[in-house]
Each structure stands twice: as structure tokens, then as C-alpha cells.
């Protein structure tokens, strides 16, 4: 009887973990959909007040909902026409953190390192970690992406 009870408990925990992982993945899918809709208000709604964003390419950390929302949307949406961001590759979920590969692209019209770029198509690969609290709000987001590939596609480096 103990063995059967232990097996049922193990199955129940496994189902619960899968439900939790599926829920976090769904929150992430909705967040990415807001980006692909180019809806800044909707993007902003996913951040907790104390959110922290780290961008490895610039080795820069931004804190707080207002500052993160402005910085991240300016960086990835502000100068990119037809912006898209999709999961592509592995996804790992542990507790409240999702680690996932993605592809981001569009047509760039803006400045990089003080150089004006007009109508340059690009597509880069990256990896992010996103930590979500119990209220389904993002409390930490870290981006790691191939900035050299981005610069090559814009014609800034060979």
C-alpha cells in the first residue's frame, strides 16, 4: 500500500511540475506575442515594479519597471521595422526561470555606435533567461545575443 501511495504521489508531483512549466511557458509565449504585436503598453504589463534587465552585449543593467520598459523597447523595437522575436531551439524551465533560444530580426533604421543605418535587414540568434514571480510578472530578464553578427549584417564590421 505504501508503495502504491508513493507512486501516486510521484505521479501527482510530476503532473504538477509539468503544469507549472507549461504555465510559465505560456506566460513567456504571451510576452513574446506582445513584442511581435509591437504593443509597448502590453509589453510593459508583463514587468514587475522591481524588474531588472541585463543586456550582455552592452554589459548594462537597468532596474525598475518604467526604466526597463523604456530601455528594452527602445533597444529592440524603436529602430526596427517589421520586428519579430521567436523561440527557436532549446527551452529549459527550472522553478520560476525559463532559459530559451530565440531569433530576432527585422529592418534596422537607426544608429549603432554613432553611425546612421538605413533599411538594413538583419536576423540574429540569442538566448535569454526570464524569471517570473508568482503574479506572472517578469522580475528578471537577461539577454545574450550575437552582437557581432548584427554589426556584420548592418555593414559595420567585416
Domain CATH code at residue 8: 3.10.450.50
Mean pLDDT of 111-135: 95
Instruction: Output phi, psi for 108, to 5 deg.
Output: -90, 130
Kindly indicate the confidence band of residue 18, based on its pLDDT and cuts at 50, 70 and 90. confident
pLDDT at 22 (0 to 100): 87
* Containing structural domain, residue 45: 2-153
Burial of 13 (0-12, 13-18, 19+ CB in 10 A): exposed
Asked if residue 42 is part of any domain, the answer here is yes
Indicate the average pLDDT of the chain.
Answer: 89
Residue 15 has pLDDT above 80, yes or no: no
12 secondary structure, DSSP code: H
Band of residue 16 on the pLDDT scale cut at 50, 70, 90: very low
Q: Give the bridge partners for 124, in sequence order.
A: 104
Cα within 13 Å of Cα(138), Cβ side = 29
How sure is the predictor about 6, in pLDDT bands with cuts at 50, 70 and 90? very low
pLDDT for 94 beyond 70: yes
Q: Where are the beta strands (DSSP E) in the chain?
A: 47-55, 60-63, 80-94, 97-112, 115-132, 138-145
Flag whether 46 is in a domain: yes
**Residue 116: per-residue pLDDT:** 96
Q: Which residues contact 20 (CB under 8 A, 6 or more apart)?
A: none
Asked if the structure places residue 18 within a domain, the reply is yes
* pLDDT of amino acid 21: 85
Q: Identify which of 114, 42, 106 has the alpha carbon closest to the alpha carbon of residue 77.
A: 106
Number of domains in the chain: 1
What is residue 3's predicted lDDT score, i.e. its pLDDT?
56
Contact 83, 103 (CB under 8 A): no
Q: Residue 120 domain-assigned?
A: yes
Q: Does 35 map to a domain?
A: yes
| 158 found inside a domain | no
pLDDT tens profile 44-54: 999 999 999 99
The pLDDT of residue 17 is above 70:
no
Instruction: Put residue 92 in one of left, alpha, beta given phi > 0 → left and psi -120 to 50 → alpha.
Output: beta
Amino acid at each position: 500500500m505504501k508503495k502504491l501511495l508513493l507512486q501516486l504521489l510521484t505521479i501527482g508531483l510530476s503532473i504538477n511540475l509539468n503544469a507549472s512549466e507549461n504555465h510559465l511557458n505560456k506566460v513567456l509565449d504571451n510576452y513574446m506575442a506582445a513584442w511581435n504585436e509591437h504593443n509597448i503598453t502590453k509589453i510593459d504589463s508583463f514587468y514587475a515594479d522591481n524588474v531588472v534587465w541585463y543586456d550582455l552585449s552592452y554589459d548594462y543593467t537597468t532596474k525598475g519597471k518604467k526604466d526597463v520598459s523604456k530601455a528594452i523597447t527602445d533597444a529592440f523595437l524603436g529602430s526596427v521595422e517589421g520586428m519579430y522575436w521567436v523561440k527557436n531551439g532549446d527551452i529549459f524551465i527550472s522553478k520560476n526561470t525559463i532559459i530559451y533560444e530565440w531569433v530576432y530580426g527585422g529592418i534596422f533604421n537607426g544608429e549603432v555606435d554613432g553611425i546612421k543605418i538605413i533599411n538594413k535587414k538583419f536576423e540574429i540568434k540569442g538566448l535569454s533567461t526570464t524569471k517570473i514571480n508568482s503574479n506572472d510578472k517578469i522580475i528578471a530578464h537577461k539577454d545574450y545575443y550575437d552582437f557581432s553578427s548584427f554589426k556584420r549584417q548592418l555593414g559595420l564590421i567585416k
